[in-house]
Amino acid sequence: MCSQYCISLADVKKAHSNIEDLVHITPILTSSILNQLAGRKLFFKCELFQKTGSFKIRGALNAIQGLTFSPSDGKKPKAVVTHSSGNHGQALSYAAKLKGIPAYIVVPRTAPSCKKSAIQGYGATIIDCEPSDESRTTVAARIVKQTEGTMVHPNQCPAVMAGQGTIALEVLEQVPAVDALVVPVGGGGMISGIAVTVKALRPEVKVYAAEPCNADDCFQSKLKGELTPNPSPPVTIADGVKSSIGPNTWPIIRDLVDEVFTVTEDEIKGHQGPRNGPGAQHPPLAAADLQCAGSTEARPGSAGNHNGRSSPLWISRAPGYQGVSSPPYSALTSARSGKKTCCQR
């Protein structure tokens, strides 16, 4: 399996060794109220408590570790460059600062101001771009040339993907009885790292992807059997998952992700933000609140940098759970209404 893809389990284990002293082992939380609603046991991998507020620090630190000293000349890179809606930018800025490397972050002009402020707070230089993959790529390439820097792609860089996969190593240790992981997908770096890890160590565990209907390139790619980027810049409240999957993440998603679930904007909004009553601050139960990975179901809360709102990665276990025949709760709203929102591999 490993030879087919740009990363392997060995890469994820090496990433774990590289970053284990620099990141938190984030907690996994559960809620009796949510378990009752879901009809199964849900666990939330709370990456919103990670350094810089999201899982992105894992991949950024692993990438910087590999770049700090070039095998050819023993020198640090002159700069690192990336494009990001916010979280990867914050993470790379922080990681670069630890090594004294200038960071330049290309950020869509529509990105939340809290994310831009955080990037600047870590000492990086922000360059605005239009909210499209094409604009991000073009502007980042120009900055790389101007600074003679090194590009650290937010989701297609193998070192970044391997770093994100360390989440799965923790989940499998923290919740040994996990049956399924539900993971939000934008560019696919996190789900690719997780899928490679889970399918190598526990191939019977299901890996599900979740994304907004308005940014459903992962769903469309699985449906058509070929990489199908979003045709135009997506308009979705889930700003962290607007990116399309790419050439490095697609083969892993194609082969190792069991199903893709999509969620409407109304479903995202309906499960987002403060509510009254016990458990009101738990992350959304719609799959596309999309900051979540995990039946026993685990769901990674992947980030907490969304204009004051936080969201989860999930984990769950249902009595008599039989895999694909019993979809994760992240898709139950749509499933119960009779909508077909999943694409089986």
Residue positions annotated with a catalytic role: 56, 85
Whole-angstrom Cα Rg for the chain: 18
- Among the listed residues 199, 231, 35, 203, the one whose alpha carbon sits nearest the alpha carbon of residue 132: 231
What is the maximum span of the chain, computed from C-alpha positions, in angstroms? 60
Q: Cβ distance 263 to 286 under 8 Å? A: yes
Residue 80, beta-bridge partner list: 103, 150
What is the per-residue DSSP string for 246-279?
Answer: -TTHHHHHHHH--EEEEE-HHHHHHT-S--SSTT
Please state, in angstroms and as integers, the Cα–Cα distance from residue 16 to each residue in 166, 172, 214, 229, 300, following that order.
6, 14, 34, 31, 17
Q: Which tokens belong to 93? A: 């800025």
3-state percent breakdown (helix, strand, coil) of the chain, nearest 5: 40, 20, 40
Q: Cβ distance 45 to 170 under 8 Å? A: yes
Q: Which tokens belong to 297? A: 């179901």
Residue 45, beta-bridge partner list: 28, 300
Q: Cβ distance 278 to 5 under 8 Å? A: no
Q: Cβ distance 292 to 314 under 8 Å? A: yes
Q: Strands 41-46 and 28-29: what pairing?
A: antiparallel
Distance separating alpha carbons of residues 332 and 314, to the nearest angstrom: 14
Q: Cβ distance 243 to 193 under 8 Å? A: no
